Amino acid sequence: MKRYSVFAIAREALRYHSGWEKAWRSPEPKAQYDAIVVGAGGHGLATAYYLGKNHGITNVAIIEKGWLGGGNTGRNTTIIRSNYLQDSSAAIYEKARSLYETMSQDLNYNVMFSPRGVMMLAQTHHEVRGYLRTAHANALQGIATEFITPQRVKELCPILNIDGPRYPVLGALWQPRGGTGRHDAVAWGYARACSAMGMDIIQNCEVKGVRSENGQVTGVDTTKGFIGTKKLGMVVAGHSGQLAEMAGFRLPIEAVALQALVSEPIKPCMDVVVMANTVHGYMSQSDKGEMVIGGGTDGFNNYTQRGSFHHIEETLRALVETFPIISRLKMLRQWGGIVDMTGDRSPIISKTPLGNCFINCGWGTGGFKAIPGSGWAMAELMAKGEPGPLAEAFNMWRFKEGQFIDESVAAGVAH
Amino acid sequence: MLTLECPYCGVKADETELAPGYEAHLKRFGPGSSPEEFEAYMFARKNPKGVHFERWRHAYGCGKWFLAARCTATLEVFGTYPAQVSEPPADIIKKIQARRPEWKSGWQPDGKGTK
pLDDT recorded at residue A296: 83
Whole domain around residue B87: which residue ranges?
3-99
pLDDT of residue B18: 95
What's the gap in Å between the CA of A283 and the closest CA on chain B?
24
Say if B36 falls within a structural domain. yes
> Which residue has better confidence, B102 or A219?
A219
Say if residue A224's pLDDT is above 90: yes
Flag whether residue A248 sits within 8 Å of chain B, measured between CB atoms.
no
Compute the distance between CA of residue A154 and CA of residue A169 in angstroms, rounded to an integer: 9
Is the pLDDT score of A406 beyond 90? no
- Determine the pLDDT at residue B105: 67
Furthest-apart CA atoms within chain B: distance in Å:
42
- Give pLDDT, residue A369: 96
The verdict on residue B38 lying in a domain is yes
Identify the pLDDT of residue B110: 43
Q: Tell me, yes or no, if A402 comes closer than 8 A to chain B by beta carbon.
A: no
Q: How far apart are CA A157 and CA A301, in angstroms?
A: 36
**Distance separating alpha carbons of residues A353 and A144, to the nearest angstrom:** 38
Q: Establish if B53 belongs to a structural domain.
A: yes
> Which one, of A5, A66, A15, lies nearest residue A38 by Cα?
A66
- Give the number of A-B residue pairs with CB atoms closer than 8 Å: 68
Query: Does residue B62 form part of some domain?
Result: yes
Q: Is the pLDDT of residue A395 over 70?
A: yes
User: In this structure, how many other beta carbons lie within 10 angstroms of the beta carbon of residue A149?
Assistant: 13
Query: Given this model, what pLDDT does residue A1 score?
Result: 84
Task: Name the band, by pLDDT with cuts 50, 70 and 90, for residue A414.
Answer: very low
Domain membership of residue B111 (yes or no) is no
> SS3 for B111?
coil
- The CA distance from A248 to the nearest CA of chain B, in Å, is 10
Q: Look at residue B107 and tell me if it is in a domain.
A: no
Domain for residue B50, yes or no?
A: yes
pLDDT at residue A409, as a whole number: 53
Answer whether B54 sits within 8 Å of A304, measured CB to CB.
no
Is the minimum CB–CB distance between B20 and chain A shorter than 8 Å? yes
Interface of B with A in 51-70 (CB under 8 A): 52, 54, 70
Nearest CA in chain B to A310: B16
Q: What is the pLDDT of residues A30-66, one digit of tens each?
A: 999 999 999 999 999 999 999 999 999 999 999 999 9
Q: Write down the pLDDT at residue B109.
A: 41
Structure confidence by residue, pLDDT tens digits, A324-378: 999 999 999 999 999 999 988 899 999 999 999 999 999 999 899 999 999 999 9
The residue-averaged pLDDT of A401-411 equals: 75
Tens-digit pLDDT profile for residues A68-114: 999 999 999 999 999 999 999 999 999 999 999 999 999 999 999 99
Flag residues of chain B having pLDDT under 50: 108-115
Give pLDDT, residue B74: 94
Question: What CATH number has the domain bearing residue B89?
Answer: 3.30.2270.10
Percent of chain A with pLDDT over 90: 91
Does B72 sit within 8 Å of A255, measured CB to CB? yes
Domain count, chain B: 1
Q: Is residue B112 part of a domain?
A: no
The mean predicted confidence, pLDDT, of chain A is 94
